Chain A
Amino acid sequence: MIRIGLRPAGIGLSALQYGILKIPIFTVSNLVEIRDLHFSYGDRPILQNLSMDFPRGKLIAVMGGSGSGKTTVLRLIGGQIKAQRGTVAVNGDIVNQLDTEGLYRLRRKMGMLFQFGALFTDLTVFENVAFPLREHTDLPEELIRDLVLMRLNAVGLRNAAGLKPNEISGGMARRVALARAVALDPALIMYDEPFAGLDPISMGVTANLIRNLNDALGSTSILVSHDVNETFMIADYVYFLSAGRIVAAGTPEEMRHSADPYVKQFVNAEPDGPVPFHYPGKSLAEDLGLEGKR
């Protein structure tokens, strides 16, 4: 069982949250901490009252149906968007208070795998992986070559180094993007739906790579997904989100045996439950004009 949500002893969260005490609200054991987070697009709330912990060295999954706010959590951690209320702390830095310079400094310690890879289509596989190394280091060309080939070897695509992204399959593109995301040995790796649209073999390969890279690099991973089997296979801890709120959290084993109706419906892929099959509105009888004829 991993430890989630440790705070300095004797200090109440609310006092820290509102800045009454000038003590950072992050804890040493957690790389990422989210506290009382509210985020909305205009009047439409996406995340409400969200508090989450992501302990160092662990692989934490954030699961939930489409539109539950999973990807928004990643975007908030990466500083792509800013929350209206609450805090997101990464390694002690409050992301939503950082200026552009600070945000870029923080992002150098992050790697992100996008849903469809987001590879640079005008560059080869090799150049894609070399991109962050070239941008952020002054390493000699020979060393960059060795580092890139090692990264590509780790994802099994060393021999595809010379190909362009349009010459490789979707699964391979995802693996190249993975190699690029870990090129600078990031402390935090975020995965946005890494299994979406992959065949079972590619899915298994990607899942194992995510776990192995997390352990080999000693980094912390946040995995956003709705693929139950692959995620449960590799995650240390799982958060379930629904309509922008955490509805359940625990180890994959706990979630498998959870009595929570939402988790049960999600894990067992049941068509009806707390997430209704029918879009809310009028009944079929009303629509067919049968309501008054009973």
Chain B
Amino acid sequence: MTMFLGFIGGFVLDVFARIGFVTRSFFGLLGKSPGALRRPTLISEQVHFIGNYSLLIITVSGLFVGMVLGLQGYYTLSQFGAEEKLGQLVALSLLRELGPVVTALLFAGRAGTSLTAEIGLMKAGEQLTAMEMMAVNPIQRVLAPRFWGGLIAMPVLAAVFSAIGVIGGYLVGVQLIGVDEGAFWSQMQANIDVRRDIMNGVIKSFVFGIAVTFTALFQGYEAQPTPEGVSRATTRTVVIASLMVLGLDFVMTALMFNK
């Protein structure tokens, strides 16, 4: 019995120690951010690397998700004779939920893994140690610009995803199925609220950007400096970041749309 209690106690202490370490690392990264923000070139390079190179997967996925929404939405709405509401349904689904969430999941798979592998391999190749020995803080020079790059890129990518998704919904709903074009756009325009729908979506994608980018950087920085260690860290990034996105989405949705 004592051993069991000891085991539980040890486990709980380990969990708290881990949470404390992650929190301290997060604030350590934020603390080093002013130094990185003073060098916008470093951040813009990362926005390009993280954001621009994710554009293809985001736009293609956005298009298909929008097209599927058009099909499924039409099927459901037509049962109630409310096909003209398709534009509203597609736009609301994308802006509130699918845009930020699917983008964040794709972002974790595309940019998150690449960040973890890059940082992990830099560590394995002693590049981070070399930087420290040159009196250059790797958190400020390497991690912080990538963090802010991810933070900026994520809401932009989510916006692109939603915009392309609406076009996908339009192509299927209006051009393919034949929903009235005027009803499609006017219902969307009349029922989408900038603050409640668009801004909340932007806030979500911003929070997901923080969660995914920090997870990716943390996993890379704390990876065992071996090929196996980097591979495990990369896998952990996808698993942890995806679960965080889904969990945070539930919490934020409950807080934002609780009426």
Binding site for B on A (CB under 8 A): 78, 80, 104-105, 107-108, 110, 112, 114-116, 118-121, 131-132, 135-136
16 A–B contacts from the bound complex (CB under 8 Å): A78-B133, A80-B129, A80-B132, A104-B137, A107-B134, A112-B130, A116-B125, A118-B125, A118-B126, A118-B127, A118-B129, A119-B127, A131-B136, A132-B134, A135-B141, A136-B136
How far, in Å, is B90 (CB) from chain A's closest CB?
41
**Is A135 in contact with B134, judged by CB distance below 8 angstroms?**
yes
B255: chain A residues at CB < 8 Å are none
**Is B135 in contact with A104, judged by CB distance below 8 angstroms?**
yes
B141: chain A residues at CB < 8 Å are 135
Kindly report which residue of chain B lies nearest to residue A107, judged by CB atoms: B135
**Is B135 in contact with A136, judged by CB distance below 8 angstroms?**
yes
By size class, the interface of chain B is 10 to 19
Complex Cα–Cα for A110 and B125 (A): 20
Interface centre among B126, B127, B134, B141 (most CB of A within 10 A): B134
Complex Cα–Cα for A116 and B127 (A): 10
**Is B137 in contact with A110, judged by CB distance below 8 angstroms?**
no
A119: chain B residues at CB < 8 Å are 127
Kindly report which residue of chain A lies nearest to residue B128, judged by CB atoms: A118
How far, in Å, is B137 (CB) from chain A's closest CB?
7
Q: Within B78-126, which residues are at the interface with A (CB < 8 Å)?
A: 121-122, 125-126
Complex Cα–Cα for A135 and B133 (A): 13
A115: chain B residues at CB < 8 Å are 126
Q: Which of B127, B129, B135, B137 contacts A120 (CB 8 A)?
A: B127
**Is A116 in contact with B135, judged by CB distance below 8 angstroms?**
no
Kindly supply a per-residue 1/0 record for chain B positions 122-158, scoring 1 wherever the CB is within 8 Å of any chain A CB and 0 otherwise: 1001110110111111000100000000000000000
**Is B135 in contact with A114, judged by CB distance below 8 angstroms?**
no
Q: Which of A107, A116, A121 contacts B133 (CB 8 A)?
A: A107
**Is B135 in contact with A105, judged by CB distance below 8 angstroms?**
yes
A104: chain B residues at CB < 8 Å are 135, 137
How far, in Å, is B111 (CB) from chain A's closest CB?
16
Complex Cα–Cα for A131 and B122 (A): 15
A136: chain B residues at CB < 8 Å are 134-136
A105: chain B residues at CB < 8 Å are 135
Kindly report which residue of chain B lies nearest to residue A103, judged by CB atoms: B135
A80: chain B residues at CB < 8 Å are 129, 132-133
**Is B125 in contact with A135, judged by CB distance below 8 angstroms?**
no
Q: Which of A78, A107, A108, A121 contacts B125 (CB 8 A)?
A: A121
Complex Cα–Cα for A251 and B134 (A): 31
B134: chain A residues at CB < 8 Å are 107, 131-132, 135-136
Complex Cα–Cα for A75 and B117 (A): 25
A116: chain B residues at CB < 8 Å are 125-126
Complex Cα–Cα for A112 and B133 (A): 7
A114: chain B residues at CB < 8 Å are 126, 129-130
Complex Cα–Cα for A264 and B249 (A): 69
Complex Cα–Cα for A121 and B122 (A): 8
How far, in Å, is A104 (CB) from chain B's closest CB?
4
Kindly report which residue of chain A lies nearest to residue B142, judged by CB atoms: A120
Q: 10 other contacts beyond A107-B132, A107-B134, with CB at 8 A cut-off?
A: A107-B133, A108-B135, A116-B126, A118-B125, A118-B126, A118-B127, A119-B127, A131-B134, A135-B136, A136-B135
How far, in Å, is A79 (CB) from chain B's closest CB?
9
**Is B127 in contact with A121, judged by CB distance below 8 angstroms?**
yes
Complex Cα–Cα for A78 and B133 (A): 7
How far, in Å, is A90 (CB) from chain B's closest CB?
13
How far, in Å, is B183 (CB) from chain A's closest CB?
52
Kindly report which residue of chain B lies nearest to residue A123, judged by CB atoms: B127
